[in-house]
Structures are given as structure tokens and as C-alpha cells.
Amino acid sequence: MGDLSQGFTHLHARSGFSYGFGVAMPEELVRAAAEMGMEALALTDRDGLYGVPKFLEASAGTDVSPIVGAEVSIGEGGHLVLLAESMEGYRSLCRLLTSYRCGSEDRRKPLCPIGAVLEHADGLVCLTGAMPFGLVPHLVLAGRTGEAGALLEVLCEAFGEGRLYVEITDDRTAGSRRRMRRVAEFAQARGVPLLATNEVAYLTPADHKLHDVLVAATNLTALPGPGYRPTDQLYLKSSAEMRTVFRHYPEALRSAASVAERCAGTVELAGEIHLPSARLRGGETPEGRLARLALKGARERYGTLEDRVRARLRRELRCIADLGFAPYFLVAREAVEIAHEKGIPVTGRGSAANSLVSYCLGLTQPEPFGNRLLFERFMHEFRSDAPDIDLDLCSLRRDGVRDELAHRYERCGVAVAATAQTMSLRGAVRVAARALGHTPRETNELSKHVPTRFRDRGRTYTPLLGWEEALAEPAMRGHPLQDRERYKLLLELSGRLAGRYLQVGTHLGGLVFGNERHHLSELAPVEPSGMTGLLRVQYDKDDLDYAGMPKLDLLGLRMHTALHEAGELASKKTEGRIDPYNLPPEDKDTYALIRTGRNAGMFQLESPGQMHLSRRLEPRRFADLVAQISLFRPGPVLGDLVTPYVLRKHSREEYSVPLPELEPVLRSTYGVLIFQEQVLEVAHIVAGFSLAEGDQIRRAMTHDRGPGAMKELKDEFVRRSMARGVSGAIAREVFSWMEGFAAYGFSAAHAASFASLSYASAYMKRHYPAEFFCALLNSQPMGFYSPRTLLNEARREGIEVLSPDIHLSGEGFTVEDDGTALRVGLKYSKGLSRSALSSILSEREGRPFASAADLYQRTAVERDALENLIRAGFLDELAPDAGRNGLLSAVRALPKKRSCARQRQTELPLPHPASWWETREGAANRAGYLPLSAEGRERMEWEALSLNVSRHPLSPYGKVLKRLGVTPSRKILGLPHGTRVQAAGLLEELQRPPTRSGRPVYFLLIEDEAGLLQVTIFEGVYRRYGHILHQRGAFLLKGKVEQDHRRGFSFLVERISDLQEALTDEAEARMPGPRMVASSGAFVRAKRRGRAG
């Protein structure tokens, strides 16, 4: 580092990780500092180190030396800035932040007692806080100089000479110079050196508005937020500007340089991996225990151990021991053990399934040899990062395993990871609108239909760059924000806020551990998560790798919940044990069902794309499922790997491999490189690379390392290939081929882990359909489809749907009539609380309900909820003559219950199983009902249950639809190429996935009485008719069928119209239709709720 005294170093700078008190990303601050020629920069976020990993990572590639610190809110008022001058200081700061964040009454507004600061002063430099709100300045400026002096003395004593500075700042508001002079005189009188900072909160003066909005948003108020300062000067000023501002205080500039010199680059998080300390019996080593357990597991799985098993176990255990990862495997195994003890379904996912040790420990399920899984894809001696073991557990009971594991390891500290949450454009509109004083209703109106972003496998796709594009979207036709003049400020603010940090969330399943050497609170600050007893580490889940803190992911998977229940129901039916995790393999009927494409409810196979692929690929064995799951990913779709694979599988296209030696590797995938593991094997066979070296090539190809690095790799590959007798031309061809495919590859281990669950769910659907659908409907929210569509799918599979009945319905759906019928459960009735539901179940045990009034009197059901029960049809049997309207009239005459008679606080209704989508941001208007309904009963059911109980909503329109020239969806699938046809259906989902060409293509999924149909809408048609898709819930689609031997079926839409309008012309009454919401992951979607990130 050069001479810092020539420039200036900002030692008090907040980023967006101050969540509401800072704007810039750490990367932006570093970039700007580098551009200004600064040699160091401190990050001092408020009450946290959330942004430190990103800050350090961003600094690594620049000449800016990072300084780690925090702005600590003090209980006595004001704040201090603490900077780490060593790793010891970093650990002190982590401990201090943990201590007061965990001890504060209000976790959202933590306050640090000054005594705690004094206790944790080791290795830290203290600045007394910016003006006017800093700890010492606020006392001095309030005239409480005596208190300020006393405070300064105790700080001096704790931090010692040279580690305490009185901070002076100039925000250029009226009187700022005088204030600065007063504080300076105060410090000089006490012999404490001054230090100049600018309390940076944003990057440029123009960003002060964003800062003010975020402060207001964090405090849920309109502008001005609390502590508002009329300034735009808290930006990252250049060295020259800072030297001008503080020209009368040269010693303050010198102090800044001196502290920067001492603290710059002292905190390093990368490089060291902090693994948990395993719980061992006396005399055991982690490696010894792991070896014993792996061997035991191997014997259980393989019986007598073949040499290849022994050799591979030896190799894997040696590598694990060399890298010191044995404790991590043992902790993961303990989690599995806890799950088994509690009877909770658990499976592994991800690349960990490449390891035989993982398989033998029961962490993963796919057998490594049979599935050609390679340990080196998971870990090897050259990998510097920590391995990642992910476990999927039944989502309802996952917390039990997590909490038990946390309890066992609490001595060294256990916490879950944080998630740094950023704003979408829609979210930014909401934040800005509220700050500008719009009412909640106006805010909803303004944010509705604003296009948002979507995520896929950790990548965020933002289809729109800014307002220009967003306002041109059909979804925003007629939107209030089109009045650009009126909403100029809102548009400006939200456009600039989008993508910025708003708040911190919790990754409920990502556990990190401390160890014997360092308690977790010394590795990173820990804070309360908001859930009782659950602590959260401040680093984002994606930053833990950088910080050398491997996390153990205990993920909640609803499919486990559903499979578990389906297994129980099937066992009850057959009076035998049906274990969905131990089913007969390679069941022909199961594959036959998958090939039909009627896959709703099947894990990973149920999306429209996968349904389509199932019909094209025609899977017949487990390996086909593994390939199918791998192929329908953005990568392979973008790289068009699907078509050659399908054509070659069906022998419609020849394939060849560059070298005959590669045939065994590529035979199973017909010469297409699908799996990342194949890249390792190809490099091994052609160039003699070890598998570990092959993995390095794969990683280099996957993560862009720049043309220089790739050229070096290629040269080495060609050189070593030629040394083995392969011609240079072939070697270069193979390398380019690998390079082309590697970016799209998918881990076979991950796909195989998922395929096991796909097979299990397909098997259960094929052999126990009522039990399977019942379990799905009871495990909501989950999967791709709304409960309404799932129930209609069940009906299409021949399962009868029985009406709700207050005496026969269970809590959830139940299977009746020996597995041929499903009855709607009580929890689908809107507005029912947990206690109301329990009281119904217990009261009817004693004696049946005689009337609605009797039910009302004997249970905890509130009047509104009772009305919903009546509307849903639960009480039809109680008053067959009066009918639902008669019951409703009678109920309205009943007195309203006083909630305090039963309990002190009114109990909130249970979340409705089909109402998840209502909580999503930007829910759109209810789509109009379809006309026609004989008695309005179906409409009532729809409103109270969000289900079509009696029949499909299009059922009554068979003749009308025929007159309109509509063809049922199932028939359309089989029409010849070029047929012009008309389809009609209810909205299920509209998506815009990434495409190979980059041009937008929209996929609309509709549902009619016959089933589901995905249609394709190109940009021109979308521009013209897209607004209908966003404003209505049922459509009439005119288009053309394409049957391509390469790509299979598609329905290209040419014209879209509102089905309701079309039917209104034909009929008069009304029928229920789906509600429609905007959602992330899709533009609009019927009755859906997002899955976990």
C-alpha cells in the first residue's frame, strides 16, 4: 500500500447492508473508491457486518485495501464507530455485535450498553461518532459537556492511547461549521485527537433521496423519516473534496490516514475454513469415527465389500481426512440420524451424492457406481472451497431436526444463515409510494401489474431493464403509472431503488456451526432471527462460502410431506406397509403413466415443459428420468441439448463420438454431454487428466475465468492428449466440444437424487391415485399447480369428489369409498381458526350437530366462518329444505360472539390452503366470473373453498364452446401439423423463461375440462393481446398447431380474447372462475404461492 497521507480514506461508510440507513452496494463503494484513486476504504454498517464478505471480495480485485468496522448504536443515545485493526479486533467486534444484538429488547432496534463496548475493546479503534448524532458529539452539542468528558475518559481508558478519536464531520447543513468547531474544541481541550470522516451513506449527492426513502421505509413512515437531515452531502467525497472541507483541521486528516494505515487489510476471511467440531466419544478422532461409520454403512448396502468399493472408500476417506472435512460429514450424519429417530423422511440432494461415503452414511440415496457418480465432482484435494451437503426433509417437521441439532452443538454456537433481500421493481414502487405518503390502497393500485423478476436455480432473471421497458409491457396498459408527469418522482425513485437491499431475512434451513477453536460468535456476528430460540448469523447464505463457513442445508421439501402421508394412507388401504422410499424399482406402469404426460403432482416432472418432454422422451427406466430432469433446465434448453438427445434416443438421428474410447462414457446419453461428471471422465480418457484435474477444467469452463486461463487449459489439454497419441486436431475438437457443453451441464448426482423422488411420486400416483392426490391437497402450498387444478386433475383421473359435510369431512381432504373418492376437508373452508376446527372435530364426536345454531353454540366457530361453512356446503345435510340461503339468513340473525368470552385475544383464522398466492406482492384483481350457474351453489363453493367441488367450471358450457368452435385441449395435442384451431381455458400460469435467442417468448398454461394445455405466445401477439392475459382469468385462444419431428407439439397463439365476453354473448348466468395474481417466477398465475427461494 502506498502513502495514505497523500489521499484520504473514508473510515465511516455505510452500505445498503445497513438496511435502511445506507444505499450503495459494497461493490459500488469499492469501485468508486478505486476510481477516485483511494487506497483504502472502511465499511461500517449499522449494527452489523452483513456486507463484509462482499466488501472483502470486491476489494480483492482492486487497489483498495478494505477496513472492517461497524457503526454501533449505543443505548445511552448516539452511535460509535468501531474499526478492526487486527483479526483479534474483528473477533471482538463480532462478539460485541452478538452480545448486544442478542440482548436487546427490540431485535429490530438493537442498542449496545456502553459497558459492553468497554468490555470488547481489544483490537478495535474507536471513533466517537459523526455529528450530530454520534455518541460524544450529541452530548457536546446538547451542552452536556460534563457527561461527554466523563464518557471520553472511560473510552480512553478502555481503548488506550492512539485507539480513540473524536470524529468530526461536516454535512454542510446550517451551523455545521460551528458544530464542528465546538466538538473540535471539546476534543482538543481533553487531548483526544480529531479524525475526519464524512459518514458516507450513499455514493453520489443525487442518491440522498434514496437514502431518505429507505430511512422512512424502515420506520414505516412517510417522508421525512425520523432523524431527517436536509442534506445531500453524505456521499463518497473525493480525497480533494475531503481535504478542502477539513482544511482547517489538518490533524483530523492526518489521523484518518494513520488509522487507515493501521487497519487496512487486517481482516481476512477467505482462505481458512471453519468446520464444526464433531461430538466424539473419548479417544475417538473424527476421521476414525467417519471411517468406521462409512465401512458399517457400506457393509449394510453392499454386503461383502468388493475391491472397487473398498478402494473407493479408502480414496474418499483419505481425501476427506486430508482436507479436514470429516467433522462436517459426521454432523450431517447426525442430522440424518435425528430425522430417522423422529420418523421424518430425509434424502440428500446436490453433488454430495457423488460420494460413496455420503451414500454409505445414508446422507444420499443414488448408488454411485451404478449411476457413474464421481467423488471428484464433489470434492478433491485441489478444491479450496468447502463441500456442501444438502438434506431434504419433510417441511412440516424439518424444524424439529434443526432445533435438535442446534441444541446438541450449542456449546460452540449454531445459527442459521441470513438472506439479504433486495427490491424488485414492484417492491421498489411499494417502498417509494409509501414514503411519498400514498395510502395503502393507492400503493396497491400503483404496484399492481408492475412486472417483477424471477429466479431459477439461484439466478435472478430480470426481464426488464427499467421503466421504459416496464411501461411498454402489456401488463401495464392503462396503468396509473403511465401518467409519467404525475408520477415522475415515484418512477424515478422506484427505478433507482430496484435491486437495492431492503431487509434481512432468514434461511431457515442453512445451519452454520462454530468449533472448539472459535465460537460461532467469533466467526461472524449472530443475532436473533425473530423465531423463538433460533439465532441467525449475519452473513448471507451465498457469502458463507467466502467466509469459510460451510453450511449444512436442512431444506424443507413438501413432496416429502406428501409422500409420507400418501404412504400412510396407502398402507391403511392395503393393510400392508407401503413405503414410498422403498418401492419396487423400474415399475412399467409407472413409466407408462409418465410417458402420457399427465404428470401433475409428480416431483420435478409436473411442469408443462416436463410434461411435454415426457411425451417426447418416453422414459422407460430410471436413467431416463435422471436425463430428463437434467435436460429440462435453462442451460440445456438454451444450448438445445434436448432435441439431439430425444432424436438419438429414438434412433432418428445417428451420433458419433470423437474417440472410440469415449463411447462407454457417452453411450448412456447418446453422445450428448449432459452431466458435469462426463466432462471429468472425458478429460481423463482423452488427456489423461486425473478426475480432480478434470473437475478443475469443468469449473474453469463453468465459471468464466477469462480467455487467458482458458487458452492455458486448452494448451495443456492438447499437449497431454498428444502425448497419449491423440492427434492435435481431435484433442482441440474434444476440448471445444467440452467447452461448449460444460456451461450447460448438470450434476448427475443431483439429478439422480431428485429422480428417486420423481419415481416415488409417479409410482404413488399410478398405484394409489386417491391417496396421492389427497396427500398433495393436504400438503399445500407445494408444487406447480393450484389446489383447484389438482382437484380437477384428480377428477380427470376418475376420482370422485365428494361434497363437504360437517360430520364426514376431516381436517384436510380424506379418502373414501375404498380409494375411489376424495372428500373436501374442513381446513379448505376460509376463515376457520385452529380452535374452531378442533372444536368441530371434538364436538361431533360426542353428538352430531342438529342445526347451524347448534354448531355455532357448541363450537368456537365465529359467525363469518360459519357463513363460509354454509356457502361451501358443509351444512347442506342439516337443512335440506331451507337450502344454503335459508341457513345463511338464519345465521345472520344469530348474535355475534364475544371473542373474549372464550379467550383473551381473537384467534387468527388458519391460512387457507389455496390462499398462498394472495399474500404475494402485487396480487391483481379478481377475474370476472364466467356467466351461468343454475343455483349459484358452485359460485358459493368457489368463494368459500377456492375449489371446483361439483364440476369443472367449463362443464356447463360444452355446447356453447362447441358453437364457438373450441377444441378440447387433449384433442389439440394430437392434431396434425398446421391445423388452425381454437382453445379455451382458465388461466393457470403465464411465464417468460430465458430463451436461446434472447427474444421473449411467453408460455401460457390453461386448463379446460379435458386437462392442461401449454401454448406459446410470440412477442408480437403478446404485445397486441397481452393486457387481456393480465386482466382476465379465462381465455379464448386462436392459433395453429405445430408438430415438429425435432421439437414435438406446440400451439402457437395468434389471437387472444376474453372467454367471459365470448360466453356472455352466448349465455346469461354466471359461473365461478379462478382468481388471478401476478407472481414472481411468472407474470401471472392462478392460485399459486411461491416456493422457497
Partner 1 sequence: MEKGGELPESSVAEIHGYPQRPPGFEEPLFPTEESKRQIMAHLLEAPWLSRASELPRGAGETARSAREPIRLVGAGSRVELVRPARCRRGPTRRRVVRVLERWREVRAWWDEETRTDRFTFRVLLVGGAVAELALERSGGWFLVGVAD
Residues that bind partner 1 (CB under 8 A): 172-178, 208-209, 212, 223-224, 230-233, 435-437, 489
Closest to 510 (Cα-Cα) out of 590, 642, 405, 385: 405
Query: With contact defined as beta carbons under 8 Å apart, do 800 and 821 qualify?
Result: yes
Alpha-helical (H) ranges within 532-598 are 558-574, 588-596
Nearer to partner 1, 208 or 616 (CB): 208
Q: Write down the least CB distance from residue 430 to partner 1, Å.
A: 16
Distance CA 1039, CA 705 (A): 45
Nearer to partner 1, 483 or 589 (CB): 483
Q: Write down the least CB distance from residue 749 to partner 1, Å.
A: 53
Nearer to partner 1, 212 or 921 (CB): 212
Nearer to partner 1, 209 or 541 (CB): 209
CB atoms within 10 A of CB 894: 13
Helix axes 286-302, 326-342, angle to 10 degrees: 50
Which helix (H) or strand (E) segment holds residue 139: the answer is helix 135-141
Nearer to partner 1, 170 or 771 (CB): 170
Nearer to partner 1, 240 or 280 (CB): 240
Nearer to partner 1, 232 or 403 (CB): 232
Q: Write down the least CB distance from residue 486 to partner 1, Å.
A: 11
Q: Write down the least CB distance from residue 425 to partner 1, Å.
A: 20
What are the distances in angstroms from CA 537 to CA 50, 252, 520?
9, 35, 8
Q: Write down the least CB distance from residue 88 to partner 1, Å.
A: 41
Peptide bond into 913 cis (omega under 30): no
Distance CA 234, CA 997 (A): 44
C-alpha cell at 332: 450431517
Nearer to partner 1, 176 or 814 (CB): 176
Q: Write down the least CB distance from residue 32 to partner 1, Å.
A: 21
Distance CA 694, CA 686 (A): 11
Q: Write down the least CB distance from residue 980 to partner 1, Å.
A: 54
Q: Write down the least CB distance from residue 501 to partner 1, Å.
A: 21
Distance CA 849, CA 875 (A): 9
Q: Write down the least CB distance from residue 395 to partner 1, Å.
A: 43
| Burial of 760 per CB tally in 10 Å (0-12, 13-18, 19+) | buried
Nearer to partner 1, 230 or 974 (CB): 230
- The separation between CA 1048 and the C-alpha centre of its own chain, rounded to angstroms, equals 32
Q: Write down the least CB distance from residue 206 to partner 1, Å.
A: 10
* Long-range contact set of residues 962-968: C-beta below 8 Å, sequence gap at least 24: 963/1066, 964/1036, 964/1062, 964/1066, 966/1036, 968/1008, 968/1009, 968/1010
Nearer to partner 1, 222 or 295 (CB): 222
Nearer to partner 1, 232 or 797 (CB): 232
Q: Write down the least CB distance from residue 78 to partner 1, Å.
A: 18
Q: Write down the least CB distance from residue 251 to partner 1, Å.
A: 22
Query: With contact defined as beta carbons under 8 Å apart, do 83 and 68 qualify?
Result: yes
* Long-range contact set of residues 572-578: C-beta below 8 Å, sequence gap at least 24: 573/768, 573/771, 573/815, 573/818, 573/819, 578/768
**Helix, strand, coil share of the chain (percent; to 5):** 45, 15, 40
Q: Write down the least CB distance from residue 968 to partner 1, Å.
A: 55
Supply the DSSP symbol for 133.
T
Query: With contact defined as beta carbons under 8 Å apart, do 136 and 152 qualify?
Result: yes
C-alpha cell at 623: 436413467
**Residue carrying the nine cell digits 411465464:** 991
* 1073: helix, strand or coil: coil
Position 1079: which residue type? S
Q: Write down the least CB distance from residue 174 to partner 1, Å.
A: 4
Nearer to partner 1, 115 or 224 (CB): 224
Nearer to partner 1, 172 or 711 (CB): 172
Alpha-helical (H) ranges within 464-576 are 467-472, 488-497, 520-523, 558-574
Nearer to partner 1, 208 or 1030 (CB): 208
Q: Write down the least CB distance from residue 434 to partner 1, Å.
A: 12
Distance CA 591, CA 357 (A): 31
Q: Write down the least CB distance from residue 177 to partner 1, Å.
A: 7
> Checking DSSP bridges between strand 1048-1058 and strand 1034-1044, what pairing results, if any?
antiparallel
Nearer to partner 1, 238 or 885 (CB): 238
Nearer to partner 1, 231 or 814 (CB): 231
Closest to 392 (Cα-Cα) out of 345, 424, 354: 345
User: What angle (nearest 5°) sits at the alpha carbon of residue 507, between those of residues 503 and 508?
Assistant: 125
Query: With contact defined as beta carbons under 8 Å apart, do 439 and 449 qualify?
Result: no
Q: Write down the least CB distance from residue 431 to partner 1, Å.
A: 13
Nearer to partner 1, 485 or 845 (CB): 485
CB atoms within 10 A of CB 959: 10
Q: Write down the least CB distance from residue 435 to partner 1, Å.
A: 8
Nearer to partner 1, 221 or 690 (CB): 221
Distance CA 187, CA 795 (A): 80
Distance CA 537, CA 1048 (A): 49
Distance CA 497, CA 422 (A): 9
What contacts 792, CB < 8 A, 6 or more positions away?
A: 948, 952, 1007
